[in-house]
Amino acid sequence: MGGSESIPTEELDKPWSTFDWGQKEALKRHLESFTPSNPDVTNIKILVAGQIGAGKSSFINSVLSVFQGEIGNEALADASQSAASHSFTKRLRAYRIRSAHADLPFEICDIKGLEPENISECQIDDIVNSIYGHVKEGYKFKEKSLTDGEHYNQNPSLSDQAFCLVYIIDTSTIQLAAEDKIITEKLRLIRQKISDKGIPQVIVMSKVDEASLLVKNDLKMVYRSKKIKERMELCSAKVGVPVSHIFPVKNYHNEIDTNDDVDVLILKAFDQIVRSADARLRRGASNI
């Protein structure tokens, strides 16, 4: 009778988490001047895992792009339709982070993407062994666990070991399909296997712009989006990583230039990854 129902809005009245959009240069300077806490380690190694199609290789490229100030594509990512069903990354590959002036003491390791229909115990073992430094760069992931051979490192040094595991999870699809439930269950299993060694885990939630029209129109609304907040809380509950270690990002995909708002979200996530890894490094080997 003359009245109208109000349409629920995705935008919250105030940010659900404070975020300084002007901290890009400060974060970048901190990371460019960073020195590992252990003098025996020249590069802090970080392992990146995630479901196929979630943006794992794209996140690595985005980190490289932020520091180089231009869009890069060093970690090859598959943009074809088949990318959602098969992993483009077949071998363990390490990427050294470089700024415009010098190499930085960070190395990001890319591994084969998790395929829901093909996840086996050996794939989980490969991830765990990669963290502990037993898998050498160039190893081609297979259907059985690596236990010996030319790519098996029996006695890894500190520099061979990873000190943080980063999960890349697609914000736009988490828990909306049966495949995503399989992935989050496997990530929780991996978490259980490495948590007793104190290996920190950070979640990067990619594709926030595809998950929210509000954020697609204005990336700075990511911390005022009810949908993004709910997806991050859901992710925390399913995988077991606290929300304080979950970071929403938009990866570079089809852009030709970098953008400050995209950069600062990526830098904030990477800064926490580095801090977590270095804190674990202070305690010694990751496999003891």
Tell me, what's the pLDDT at 230?
94
**Burial label, 122 (beta-carbon count in 10 A; 0-12, 13-18, 19+):** middle
SS3 1: coil
- 66 and 28 in contact (C-beta within 8 Å)? yes
In tens digits, the chain (288 residues) has pLDDT values of 444 444 467 899 999 999 999 999 999 999 999 999 999 899 999 999 888 888 998 999 999 999 999 998 887 655 544 444 444 456 788 999 999 778 999 999 988 777 766 555 667 888 888 899 988 888 877 656 666 677 788 888 888 999 999 999 999 888 655 566 677 777 888 888 888 888 999 999 999 999 999 999 999 999 999 999 999 999 898 888 999 999 999 999 889 999 999 999 999 999 999 999 999 998 876 665
CB atoms within 10 A of CB 12: 15
pLDDT confidence of residue 29: 95
Contacts 24+ apart (CB under 8 A), 215-223: 215/250, 219/250, 219/261, 219/262, 219/265, 220/21, 220/261, 221/11, 222/19, 222/248, 222/265, 223/15, 223/16, 223/17, 223/18, 223/19, 223/248
Q: How far is CA 183 from the centre of its chain?
A: 14
Residue that has been written with the tokens 């992993």 in this structure? 87
Interhelix angle 226-239/178-195, rounded to 10 degrees, is: 50
Name the residue with tokens 């037993």.
134
- DSSP code per residue over 156-222: --GGGSEEEEEEEEETTTTTSSHHHHHHHHHHHHHHHHHHTTT--EEEEEE-HHHH-HHHHH-GGGG
pLDDT of residue 53: 86
Q: Is the dihedral of CA 19, 21, 26, 29 positive or negative?
A: positive
Dihedral angle sign, alpha carbons of residues 252, 97, 156, 281: negative
- How many whole angstroms separate alpha carbon 243 and alpha carbon 245? 5
Specify the pLDDT at position 177: 58
Please report, for residues 86, 193, 203, the alpha-carbon distance to residue 54 in angstroms, rounded to integers and kept in the order given. Answer: 12, 23, 12
Distance CA 43, CA 46 (A): 9
Quick one: pLDDT at residue 83? Answer: 43
